[in-house]
Amino acid sequence: MRNLFILALLISSSALASDKPNVLFLIADDQCFETIREFGFTDIDTPNLDRLVQCGTTFTHAYNMGSWSGAVCVASRTMLITGRSVWRANAIYNETDKEREAGRLWPQMMSRAGYETYFTGKWHIQAKAEMAFDATKDVRAGMPKDTPEAYNRPLEGLPDPWSPSDPEFGGFWQGGKHWSEVVGDNTIEFLGAAKRQKKPFFMYIAFNAPHDPRQSPQEYIDKYPLDRIAIPKNFLPEYPYKDAMGCGSGLRDEKLAPFPRTEHAVKVHRQEYYAIITHLDAQIGRILDDLENSGQAENTWIFFTADHGLAAGHHGLMGKQNMYDDSLRVPFVVKGPGVKAGVRIDDPIYLQDAMATALDLAGAPKEEQVEFHSLLPLMRGEKSPASREAIYGAYLELQRAVIHDGWKLILYPKAKVARLYHLTEDPLEMTDLANEPAQAKRKGGLFKRLLGLQKDLADPLDLVAAFPEL
């Protein structure tokens, strides 16, 4: 009788494991929110991301928390894989492999929940990916190798020394096949292997695109003639506080285009940005098609997001090292069994909430060090700590920001400058209201809220000393 009871338990546990959904996590690099046509941005063509949006739920205000280095990718991905907020992730960054040894990384938690785990693409974390996942292929340390010709270009009236479609420049072409296509091929190979497994799968698929050098086949460049490219309405030849905020000519990302910015240079960079995103979109389409054809789509949750956004000509800036929405805010789309189609959720979240959500789907415990929250309650229309009352943003000791109730306060401590924007009425952040007497109380309230977030997140920067008047 006892043996029968044990057998029944084993059968029950096995059935429960098999009922767990697959999780396919797709992450782009440097892709801002305004790069999906279905969101109303008609400058760009993204038919496959469009169908993901149409069939899934979109979180319209997903943010990256910030960075302790110029390589914002590193901070964002370390937060994502460890579950720690920005300054606590910074504290363990150089010893992230010890987190792996202790079994505290996202794929390891999924493995303990009964998942077969896979990885391909950009890792950029101080831990051994090959030892954190069951299967890996083509693990990339960081960005593609670039060349001097890719910087300080184009100069209007002069020949452009660089071509985004020429394999001779290496970069995404290194190895003979475009890296986005390699990641697409690897994912399809993983799906074939996963189909033969009895376990559910967790796939972390990390595209390098659309990070610079923004390269794609010529047919994708040709989709975007310069007369199709609109200049951002908040275009500036030069951002007035670029040096004090750490985004001057010494920052690699900003050196990609000439100073002062020209409309021609911004158009060319946006042309190449859109082209590599459309090429990325095609690879995602291949993955979605193969998932459908494999018969696994009905039990698979798909997440699409990016590690951070990109200025790409907004505000006179080119990189992601700033507190404007084009750099902080990213696409975040979820599709899966029972997920409502075409729904938009405006609650502000962090992109790293994807980790806690996957753990929730897997039935895995959220371990003590995980500071982010599952989005499943929000998707059910329930209250959740994932819906942040305020969003925090940081870059080195040079920038801080807080978003609350449709307003954003940006601080540049080195320059002792505050900027205030009413995002609800001014989503492009063009009208600075910081010096308006009528906004003094609001500015002080946002500052107080930012100080509270600093304390919660172990931010060591003394803002009171820099802004005693607030």
Q: Is the dihedral of CA 307, 312, 318, 324 positive or negative?
A: negative
pLDDT at 206: 98
The CATH number linked to 419 is: 3.30.1120.10
**Mean pLDDT of all residues in 8-32:** 70
pLDDT at 18: 53
pTM above 0.75, yes or no: yes
pLDDT tens sequence across 392-408: 999 999 999 999 999 99
pLDDT tens sequence across 105-114: 999 999 999 9
**Mean pLDDT of all residues in 186-199:** 96
Of 169-173, 187-191, 443-447, 452-456, give the lowest mean pLDDT range.
Answer: 169-173
The whole-chain average pLDDT of the chain stands at 94
pLDDT tens sequence across 265-285: 999 999 999 999 999 999 999
Residue 19 confidence class, pLDDT cut points 50, 70, 90: confident
**Mean pLDDT of all residues in 281-298:** 97
Q: What percent of the chain has pLDDT over 90?
A: 93
- Within a domain: 314: yes
342 plus 427 within the same structural domain: no
Domains identified in the chain, total number: 2
**Mean pLDDT of all residues in 196-220:** 97
416 plus 283 within the same structural domain: no
Cα-based distances in Å from 331 to 29, 191, 202, 322, 334: 11, 24, 21, 17, 10
pLDDT at 146: 82
Q: Is the pLDDT of residue 363 over 80?
A: yes
Give a three-class secondary structure readout of the chain.
Answer: CHHHHHHHHHHHHHHHHHHCCEEEEEEECCCCHHHCHHHCCCCCCCHHHHHHHHHCEEECCEECCEECCCCHHHHHHHHHHHCCCHHHHHHHHHHHHHHHHCCCCHHHHHHHCCCEEEEEEECCCCCCHHHHCCEEEEEECCCCCCCHHHCCCCCCCCCCCCCCCCHHHCHHHCCCCCHHHHHHHHHHHHHHHHHCCCCCEEEEEECCCCCCCCCCCHHHHCCCCHHHCCCCCCCCCCCCCCCCCCCCCCCHHHHHCCCCCCHHHHHHHHHHHHHHHHHHHHHHHHHHHHHHHHCCHHHEEEEEEECCCCCCCHHHCCCCCCCCHHHHEECEEEECCCCCCCEEECCCEECCHHHHHHHHHHCCCCCCCCCCCCCHHHHCCCCCCCCCCCEEEEECCCEEEEEECCEEEEEECCCCEEEEEECCCCCCCCCCCCCCHHHHHHHHHHHHHHHHHHHHCCCCCCHHHHCCCC
117 plus 168 within the same structural domain: yes
The CATH number linked to 341 is: 3.40.720.10
182 plus 161 within the same structural domain: yes
pLDDT at 6: 32
319 plus 240 within the same structural domain: yes
pLDDT at 16: 39
149 plus 175 within the same structural domain: yes
370 plus 409 within the same structural domain: no
**Mean pLDDT of all residues in 89-118:** 97
pLDDT at 12: 31
- Within a domain: 9: no
416 plus 319 within the same structural domain: no
- Within a domain: 30: yes
pLDDT at 142: 87
**Mean pLDDT of all residues in 241-246:** 98
367 plus 402 within the same structural domain: no
pLDDT tens sequence across 129-181: 999 999 999 999 888 888 899 999 999 999 999 999 999 999 999 999 999 99
345 plus 398 within the same structural domain: no
**Mean pLDDT of all residues in 307-320:** 98
181 plus 242 within the same structural domain: yes
User: Which of 379, 410, 434 marks a domain boundary?
Assistant: 379
pLDDT tens sequence across 3-17: 333 333 332 333 334
What range does the domain containing 29 cover? 22-379
Q: Is the pLDDT of residue 37 over 90?
A: yes
Residue 379 confidence class, pLDDT cut points 50, 70, 90: very high
